[in-house]
Structure 1
Amino acid sequence: MPKQCQLLGTHASTGNTVSHSHRKTRRTFSPNLQSKRYWVPSQGRYVTLTVSAKGMKTIDRIGIEAALARIERRASHGR
């Protein structure tokens, strides 16, 4: 499983670590991924998702049903 948010598709980005002397070394910025269990009333079961902190806020805003529909759309487009 890639280190990627299932809802938003957020993944690691790259940049530089800059020391006090301004030497630059390549590094990765990992997303804040959390494994979270959500109750889906229409299916009558729990679903475990790997989502970023921003993805959790999105689920709180739009609801788990709409979030699962959005995940299905992302999966069907092959992204």
Structure 2
Amino acid sequence: MSAICQVTGRKPGYGKRVSHSHRRTSRRWEPNLQRRKYWVPSEGRWVRLRVSVKGMKTIEKRGIEAVVAGLRAKGVRC
């Protein structure tokens, strides 16, 4: 499973690790993803999402109903 937030679309960032001697090697910054279950009252069921912490804040602000409706409009199965 890829490291992408279902709500915000955050993905890993890529860059270089630079040592003291200035050698460069590739690295990636992973988003802070969590698996969370949210109760959707209109459907009467739980929805499991893989969201970043920023995505959790978005759900708290907009509400789970609006977020799930937006995901369904994009064609995401949840």
TM over 0.5: yes
Residues 33-70 of structure 1, C-alpha deviations (whole Å, 9 max, x = no match)? 00001011101111110000100000000000011012
Runs of 5+ in structure 1 lacking a partner?
Answer: none
Q: Distance in 1 between matches of 2:73 and 2:27?
A: 32
**Aligned pair count?**
76
Rounded Cα–Cα distance in structure 1 between residues aligned with 2:19 and 2:73: 42
Confirm whether residue 53 of structure 1 aligns to residue 53 of structure 2.
yes
Instruction: Name the structure 2 match of 1:72.
Output: 72
1:5-20 aligned at under 5 Å gives the runs 5-20=5-20
Task: For 1:73 and 1:7, locate their aligned partners in 2 and report how far apart those are by CA, in whole Å.
Answer: 12
The runs of at least 4 aligned residues of structure 1 exceeding 3 Å deviation read: none
**Where does structure 2 lack aligned partners over 5 or more consecutive residues?**
none
Q: TM-score, normalized by length of structure 1?
A: 0.86
What's the Cα RMSD here? 1.3
